[in-house]
Amino acid sequence: MCGIVGYVGDRQAQDILVNGLEKLEYRGYDSAGLAVFDEGKIDYQKKKGRIQQLKEVLDEKPLAGSVGIGHTRWATHGEPSDVNAHPHVSSDEKIAVVHNGIIENYMELKDKLIKEGYEFQSDTDTEVVAHLLDSYYDGDIFEAAKKTAKDLKGSYSLGIMSSDDPDKLIAIRKNSPLIIGMGENENFIASDVPAILEHTRNIYYLDNDEIAVLTKDSVDFYDEDGNSIEKKETVITWDPEDAEKGGYPYFMLKEINEQPKAIEDTLIGRITEDGIKLDDVIITKEDLDKIDHVHIVACGTAYNAGLLGKAFIEKYARIPIEIETASEYRYKDPIITENTLLIVLSQSGETADTLAAIDIAKKAGARVLAITNVVGSSVAREADDILYTNAGPEIAVASTKAYVTQVACMLLIALHLAKLKGLLSEEDQKRIAESLLNSPKQIEEALEASEEIEEFAYENKDLHDVYLIGRGLDYDSCIEGSLKIKEISYVHSESFSAGELKHGPIALVEDGTVLLVVATQDKTFDKLLSNILEVRSRGAKVLAIAQEKHRDALEKAGVEKVFCITDLEDDIAPIPAVVYLQLFAYYLAVARGCDVDKPKNLAKSVTVE
Ligand code: G6P
């Protein structure tokens, strides 16, 4: 995720900015840059790669001056490169800007600015902000910033400086965090507390549509119309290590809590008034007509998201899907022709088995559509069509926000393919799109249940096995939930399709066996209820995730903990449902004293076979 640091004070800005960016390295980035005001002009340096590479450039040509902005970029629009790195500057280099987030309407704004004569250097959405600021600038950078913000749709936090107003920094926030730090004769902006914690603990959190104007001895806050507002200071008491995790004890819990925002970022610009719009998926109707079978291939959690993808594509686009783990696919002699579409999912975009699968498929003439979280990754470079998850970097080994965003992407792809085939009614498209947009709220509901899930996990921390059952999409959620439990708590866990219980697994159920039941699908609820009664009568302790309207029935069946999702569209249920399972896995691991973020024997990115 991108990082922002800004400084205005008496000290030299360069080292404070670089040091602040280093404190944000944990967020992940692919390039870094700084802009500092000195002797009547803004100087800047930006470099693809690590901060160390930027430092080498700065060692040769330091940026002097005591006002500046810095940025670490995690690419979303345009691959990692020097030119796409931030800051971005206006053509006369009098205005510089750093940005976190995604400008949803940047294409529209870019077209307008090009017509006005602006020339673009980069592929980023951010550069439109620099030129927009310039187009509105008539001597007052605050006014220009206010007008610019009104034109922008999407999520953004911005740090802005102007060489005509050299003692000032402007900070603006919408749907992307930004804080202001107050020091003595110096003030700071940052996307996250660790960047400035060694200089100040006195912080103001900007809220959406708020603007801050900083000089070295003042900070003023305004609403979007420029009316002055008062804000409350927060004094940070965390130590620096906690601060990196945003106050959470583990990155995994932080990332679980980031899921509402991650889904919002996945959907930005892709659900429009005209329906689903996937810019980088360029399959045409003619291309699709030629495709006679689709393979979905991935590893680990990404594979589990692919399971839901299969269900969605088969349901909406009526195309038969074969799904395989990449490690099996590559040695199985799969039937691939020029009429094959291979869909791969990979958070990192660097998983060796997944890359090998792409290689095999491409050699056989298949078309490759990739869902990945990392712009410019190997998977992204190899694919013909790409859909980025926009989840921001994931640090904990156990994948959470990457999974829910992959599921959302799979549903978008299914709808897109169905639309191309003329199989999607306007009504269905609208209903599912609305429901997807509502899913962040349902994730919030799940997050609110954290304490209760924690209690249940602690009560049962000495269990030897935990089983998960569900049907249809719920079974797919169980598979992912079970993987999470294994990965981080080292408890033996298996998922079963509930209808298969009586064909074997029910023999495992005895007094005190813990069963997690995912029962969100309306059409199979009654069947699942019978399964619950079967395991309850053998003494199992059950935690269930279901729809509100089924609460009574579950409680009557003796289910110990019932968690209900409201306003549920069945196909969207896997997104909030898995969050309850992630939380259970997390608290079970904590209760058992496990190192949640770094489980034994596992790696985040498996780049070898
Ligand atoms: C490793 C990670 C998993 C991940 C899998 C696939 O096993 O520990 O969390 O799901 O690789 O990674 P990818 O980056 O391709 O999604």
Is residue 28 over pLDDT 80? no
Q: Which residue has the CA at smallest separation from atom 15 of ligand 1?
A: 346
What topology is assigned to 3-241 in CATH?
Glutamine Phosphoribosylpyrophosphate, subunit 1, domain 1 (3.60.20)
Cα 258 to middle of ligand 1, angstroms: 19
Is residue 210 over pLDDT 90? yes
211 Cβ contact list (under 8 Å, min separation 6): 142, 145, 146, 149, 170, 171, 172, 221, 222, 223, 224, 226
Number of H helices, E strands in the chain: 20, 27
- For residue 93, the 8-state DSSP code is S
Joined tokens for residue 496: 């079963």
What topology is assigned to 251-437 in CATH?
Rossmann fold (3.40.50)
Confidence of residue 241 (pLDDT cuts 50, 70, 90): low
Q: Which atom of ligand 1 is nearest to the CA of 304?
A: 10
Confidence of residue 609 (pLDDT cuts 50, 70, 90): low
> Ligand 1 pocket by C-beta < 6 Å: which residues?
299-302, 346-348, 351, 354, 397, 399, 602, 604-606
Residue 381, pLDDT score: 85
Cα 302 to middle of ligand 1, angstroms: 7
Please, are residues 101 and 124 in contact by the beta-carbon 8 Å criterion?
no
Give the 3-state secondary structure percentages of the chain, helix then strand then coil, rounded to 5.
40, 25, 35
pLDDT (tens digit, 9 = 90+) per residue, 252-273?
999 999 999 999 999 998 998 8
What order do you get walking across the sheet with 321-325 strand by strand?
A: 321-325, 293-298, 340-346, 367-372, 385-388
All structural domains of the chain with their residue ranges:
3-241, 251-437, 453-591
Is residue 106 over pLDDT 80? yes
The catalytic position among 2, 299, 409, 478 is 2
Is residue 605 over pLDDT 90? no
In 206-292, the DSSP E strands lie at 210-215, 218-222, 228-229, 234-235, 271-272, 275-276
Residue 29, pLDDT score: 86
The best mutation among 330, 399, 407 to test binding of ligand 1, ranked by most ligand atoms within 8 Å of the C-beta, falls on: 399
Q: Which atom of ligand 1 is nearest to the CA of 351?
A: 15
pLDDT-above-90 percentage for the chain:
83
Is the fold of 3-241 the same as that of 453-591?
no
Please, are residues 544 and 517 in contact by the beta-carbon 8 Å criterion?
yes
Cα 480 to middle of ligand 1, angstroms: 12
Is residue 512 over pLDDT 70? yes
The best mutation among 301, 307, 488, 597 to test binding of ligand 1, ranked by most ligand atoms within 8 Å of the C-beta, falls on: 301
Give the best-scoring range by mean pLDDT among 143-152, 227-236, 239-248: 143-152
Is residue 176 over pLDDT 70? yes
Is residue 1 over pLDDT 80? no
Q: Which atom of ligand 1 is nearest to the CA of 603?
A: 8
Q: Which residue has the CA at smallest separation from atom 3 of ligand 1?
A: 300
Residue 358, pLDDT score: 96
Is residue 275 over pLDDT 70? yes
Q: Is 564 a catalytic residue?
A: no
What topology is assigned to 453-591 in CATH?
Rossmann fold (3.40.50)
Please, are residues 6 and 189 in contact by the beta-carbon 8 Å criterion?
yes
Q: What's the mean pLDDT in 286-308?
A: 95
Q: Is 2 a catalytic residue?
A: yes
Q: What is the pTM for the complete model shown?
A: 0.80
pLDDT (tens digit, 9 = 90+) per residue, 445-487?
999 999 999 999 999 999 999 999 999 999 999 999 999 999 9
